[in-house]
Structure 1
Amino acid sequence: MKKLTLIMLTVVFSTISLTAIANGTLSCSTPWAKSVPVHLVERKVVASSQNGIVLMEVEDIFFNPTDSRCEGVYKFKMPPGAFASGFWINTDEKEWVKGEIRKIAEARKIYQTITSRLIDPGILEQKDDEITVRVFPIESKKKVGIRFRYFFAAHGDKDRLVFNFPIGFANSITPDEERRARAEPVPARLSFVATLFDADSIVAAEASNDQVKINATGSLCNLSLSAESALVDDLSVSYRTGADEKISVVPCKSPDGSKYSLIRARNIEYPKVDDVCRVGIIVDGSGSMGHRNKERALKAITTISAMPKVEVELFVAANGDLRRVEASELQKMEFYGNTQWDFVSTFPADSNYAGVILITDGDNLNAKHLQTLWRKTSRRPVQVIYLRQAYSRALAVMAENFGGCFFYGKATAQDQLPVALARLIDVLSNNPFLVLPGDRKVMPLFGSLSDAAYYVLAFKTGNYSLKTSTGKDLVSFDIADNMEPREVLPWFGGIAGRQLIKQLEANEQTPEVMQKITELGLRYGQTTDYTAFLAVPEEIAMMHSDAMNPAYLAMFAAPNFRQSRQQARDKACFANQRVLMGALEMFCMDTNFKDPETGKDISETLGSLEHDLYTGVFKIDKLVELKYLKSMLIPPETDCEYRIIGNWMRSGLVACMVHGPVDEAKPSIEEMVKQYCAENNLNFDDFDLPYELYGGYPWSVSLEWKLQQHLLIRLFFKFML
Structure 2
Amino acid sequence: MPNTARYAAYAAFRQRRSEVLARIFFIVCVSLFVIVSFAQHQARADSAGLVRLADVESGALLLNSTEPGKYVPAPLLATDVQIDVTGPLARARVTQHFINPGDGWVEGKYVFPLPENAAVDTLKMVIGTRVIEGQIKEKQEARQIYEEARADGRRASLVEQQRPNVFTNSVANIGPRETIVVQIEYQQTVRQDGDAFSLRFPMVVAPRYVPKSATPQLVDFKPGEGGWGEILPPREPLDLEQPPVLHPDMGQINPVSLAISIDAGFALGTVESAHHEISLTRDGTRKATLTLAGELTPANKDFELVWKPAAASAPAAALFRERVGDEDYILVMLTPPAGSTVPAAKPREVILVIDNSGSMSGPSMDQAKKSLLWALDRLKPADTFNVIRFDDTTTVLFPQAVPAHGENLDVARRYVGNLEANGGTEMLPALRASLVDPDAGDSSRLRQVVFLTDGAIYNERELFTEITSNLGRSRIFTVGIGSAPNSYFMARAAEAGRGTFTHIGSETQVAERMSVLFEKLQNPVMTDIAASWPGGRNTQSWPNPVPDLYKGEPIVLSARMPKAEGTLTLKGQLAGAPWEIRLPLDAGETRPGIGKLWARRKIEQLEADARIEGDWQKHDGDILKTALDHHLVSRLTSLVAVDVTPVRPDGEKLTTRDMPVNLPDGWDYEKVFGAEAMPAAQRAAFKASAAPMLAMAAMPASADASSGGLALPQTSTDAATLIHGGLLAFMLAGLLVALRWLHQHWNGGASARRYR
TM-score, normalised on structure 2?
Answer: 0.55
Does 2:522 correspond to 1:487? Answer: no
Structure exhibiting the larger radius of gyration computed from Cα positions: 2
Deviations, residues 253-307 of structure 1 (Å, cap 9, x unaligned): 4354633443234586375443443133153789779977887665444423332
Given that residues 250 and 262 in structure 1 are in contact (C-alpha distance below 8 angstroms), is that contact kept between their aligned partners in structure 2? yes
Specify whether residues 631 and 429 from structure 1 end up closer, same or farther in structure 2 by C-alpha distance, changes over 3 A only.
same
Q: Alpha carbons of 1:345 and 1:467: their partners in 2 closer, same or farther (altered >3 Å)?
A: same
Note the 1:22-37 alignment, pairs <5 A. Answer: 33-36=71-74
Counterpart position of 1:455: 557
- Structure 2 CA distance for aligned equivalents of residues 33 and 441 of structure 1: 51
Q: Does 1:347 align with 2:441?
A: no
Of 461, 468, 487, the residue aligned with 1:393 is 487
| Mapping 1:483-562, distance limit 5 Å | 483-489=586-592, 491-507=593-609, 508=611, 510=615, 511-539=617-645
Structure 1 residue 54, shift from structure 2 partner: 0.6
Matches within 5 A, 1:169-184: none
User: Which residue pairs with 1:252 in the alignment?
Assistant: 321
Amino acid at match of 1:215: D
Of residues 252-261 and 134-143 in structure 1, the stretch that sits farther from structure 2 once superposed is 252-261
1:196 — aligned with what?
Answer: 263
For structure 2, the 5+ residue unaligned runs are 1-58, 205-251, 403-407, 534-541, 681-756
Match of 2:178 among 142, 159, 162: 142
State whether residues 266 and 452 of structure 1, in contact with CA within 8 Å, keep that contact through their aligned partners in structure 2: yes
Query: What secondary structure sits across from 1:85 in the alignment?
Result: strand
d(CA) in 2 for partners of 1:129, 1:345: 26
Give SS of 1:455's match.
strand
Q: Give the partner amino acid of 1:393.
A: S
Alpha-carbon shift at residue 317 of structure 1 (Å): 8.3
Secondary structure in structure 2 of the residue aligned to 1:479: strand
The one-character-per-residue Cα deviations of 1:6-51 (angstroms, maximum 9, x if unpaired) are: xxxxxxxxxxxxxxxxxxx9989797644546475x9473x44442
Task: Give how far 1:538 is off.
Answer: 3.3
Partner residue of 2:386 out of 314, 320, 342: 314
- State how far apart, in whole Å, the 2-side matches of 1:367 and 1:117 are: 42
Q: Partner of 1:709 in structure 2?
A: none
Question: Any conservation in 1 of the 2:194–2:551 contact (CA below 8 Å)?
Answer: no
SS at match of 2:517: helix
Residue 478 of structure 1 and its aligned partner are, at CA, apart by 0.8
2:118 matched residue in structure 1: 82
Work out whether 1:264 is the aligned partner of 2:333: yes
Aligned to 2:141: 106
CA shift in 2, pair 1:522/1:274, >3 Å:
same
In the superposition, relative to structure 1, how do residues 495 and 355 fare at CA in structure 2: closer, same or farther (>3 Å)? same
Distance 1:304 1:108, change over 3 A: same
Deviation of the 1:539 alpha carbon = 4.1
Contact 2:633 2:639 in 1 (8 A): yes
Change (3 A) 1:189 1:345: closer
For residues 225 and 75 of structure 1, do their structure 2 counterparts lie closer, same or farther at Cα, with a shift above 3 Å needed? same
In 2, the alpha carbon distance for the partners of 1:101 and 1:26 equals 35
* Contact 2:478–2:501 (CA under 8 A) maintained in structure 1: yes
Equivalent residue letter for 2:437: F
Provide the residue aligned with 1:478 in structure 2: 582
Q: How many residues align?
A: 513
Mapped pair 1:406 → 2:501: yes
Q: Look up the SS of the partner of 2:523 in the other structure.
A: helix
**CA–CA distance in structure 1, aligned partners of residues 294 and 432 of structure 2:** 55
1:122 matched residue in structure 2: 157
Question: What is the match of residue 470 of structure 2?
Answer: 373
Change over 3 Å in CA distance of 1:259–1:285 after alignment to 2: closer
> Distance between the aligned counterparts of 2:582 and 2:292, measured in 1?
43
Contact 1:30 1:69 (8 Å CA) reproduced: no
Instruction: Name the residue aligned to 1:437.
Output: 531
Work out the CA distance in 2 between the residues paired with 1:39 and 1:287.
30
SS in 1 for 2:338: coil
Which AA in structure 1 matches 2:465?
Answer: K
Q: Does 1:359 align with 2:359?
A: no
Q: Please give the alpha-carbon distance, in whole angstroms, between the structure 2 residues aligned to 1:186 and 1:441.
A: 40
**Whole-Å Cα distance in 2 between the matches of residues 231 and 301 of structure 1?**
31
Q: Taking CA–CA contacts closer than 8 Å with sequence separation of 6 or more, which of the two structures ends up with the larger relative contact order?
A: 2
Contact 2:117 / 2:600 at 8 angstroms: preserved in 1? no
CA–CA distance in structure 2, aligned partners of residues 277 and 537 of structure 1: 64
Which whole-Å deviations, capped at 9, do the CAs of 1:347-403 have from their partners, x for residues lacking one?
A: 2212333232142545545222112333x21xx533234456533233212421432
Mind listing any 5+ residue stretches in structure 1 that lack a counterpart? 1-24, 169-184, 544-563, 584-622, 633-641, 650-721
User: How much has 1:137 moved relative to structure 2?
Assistant: 2.0
Q: Give the residue type in structure 2 aligned to 1:250.
A: L
Counterpart code for 2:501: F
* TM-score (norm. length: structure 1): 0.57
- Deviation at residue 148 of structure 1 after TM alignment: 0.7
**Do the aligned partners of 1:56 and 1:150 also contact (CA within 8 Å) in 2?**
yes
| Cα shift at 1:150 | 1.6
Structure 2 residue aligned with 1:552? none
Q: Distance in 1 between the 2:327 and 2:203 partners?
A: 33
* Cα distance change, pair 487–230 in 1 and its aligned pair in 2 (3 A): closer
Superposed CA deviations along residues 97-124 of structure 1, whole A, max 9, x for unmatched, are 2222223233334434554566533333
User: Relative to structure 2, which stretch is displaced further, 206-215 or 127-136?
Assistant: 206-215
Q: Which amino acid aligns with 1:455?
A: L
SS in 1 for 2:332: strand
What CA distance in whole angstroms lies between the structure 2 residues aligned with 1:167 and 1:414? 21
Farther off after superposition, 52-61 or 455-464: 455-464
Match of 2:351 in 1: 281
| Amino acid of the structure 1 residue aligned with 2:446 | A
Cα pair distance change 1:462/1:150, threshold 3 Å: closer
| In structure 2, C-alpha distance between the alignment counterparts of 1:406 and 1:418, rounded to whole Å | 14
The amino acid of 2:442's aligned partner reads S
Does the aligned pair in 1 maintain the 2:451–2:476 contact within 8 Å? no
Q: CA deviation at 1:244?
A: 3.6
Contact in 1 for aligned 2:194/2:552 (Cα 8 Å):
no
- Structure 2 distance, partners of 1:117, 1:529, is 27
Is the contact between residue 399 and residue 506 of structure 1 (CA under 8 Å) also seen in structure 2? Answer: no
The corresponding residue for 1:133 is 169
Question: Per-residue CA shift, 1:42-88, capped at 9, x if unaligned?
Answer: 9473x444421111123344554554433334465545643422211
Partner of 1:151, secondary structure, is: strand
Q: Tell me the residue number matched to 2:720.
A: none
Partner amino acid for 1:486? Answer: E
Aligned-residue CA RMSD (Å)? 5.3
Cα distance, 1:485 vs. partner? 3.2
Q: CA deviation at 1:147?
A: 0.4
Q: Does the 8 Å CA contact 1:279/1:311 hold for their aligned counterparts?
A: yes
Contact 1:282-1:359 within 8 A present in 2 as well: yes
2:598 maps to a residue whose letter is A
Counterpart mapping for 1:175-254 below 5 A: 194=261, 196=263, 198=265, 201-204=266-269, 213-216=281-284, 221=287, 223=289, 236=305, 238=307, 240=309, 244=313, 247-254=316-323
- Could you say which residue in structure 1 is the equivalent of 2:18? none
1:318-374 Cα deviation digits (max 9, x unpaired): 879984155566655999995435557742212333232142545545222112333
Distance across 1 between alignment mates of 2:164 and 2:292: 30
State the secondary structure of the residue aligned to 2:628: helix
Going from structure 1 to structure 2, the CA distance change for 1:251 and 1:62 (only over 3 Å counts) comes to closer
Percent identical pairs in the alignment equals 13
Bigger mean CA offset, 144-153 vs 31-40: 31-40
